Structure 1
Amino acid sequence: MSVLSDANVEAQPPADVPAKTRKRRTRRRVAKTLAWVAVALTAVMVLSEPWLLLPVITLAVALSLWD
């Protein structure tokens, strides 16, 4: 049982981490989650209707050409 509690303690962030860093980590985690949800939703849409890939490709090209 002590092995599980030791692993659990290591997984928690240190208490001396500044609030700004914790906030940044939380924001980054939420942004990553939203990005993956968007990718998954796009994949489901493209699998159901392949023509929906055209706006996705257009958006990707527009973002890559944006200065």
Structure 2
Amino acid sequence: MSLINSYTPTSIIHGPDTVDQLGELVSGWQCSRALVVSDPGIIEVGHTSRGCAALQSAGI
């Protein structure tokens, strides 16, 4: 059996209005597109649209 080793660094950022900083945070990754995955509850409370707006304002 061969050994499989993977390194997956994780950063969890949380707090009030953090979703509005999403564009600024992601722009540091030098990407031009994002895949946004959500669910009906998150969409209903407006987090998805706020996150997408933050991404769009950052040019992502």
Same fold (TM over 0.5): no
Greater fraction helix:
1
Which structure has the higher relative contact order (CA within 8 Å, separation 6+)?
2
TM-score, normalised relative to structure 1: 0.26
TM-score, normalised relative to structure 2: 0.27
Higher gyration radius (CA): 1
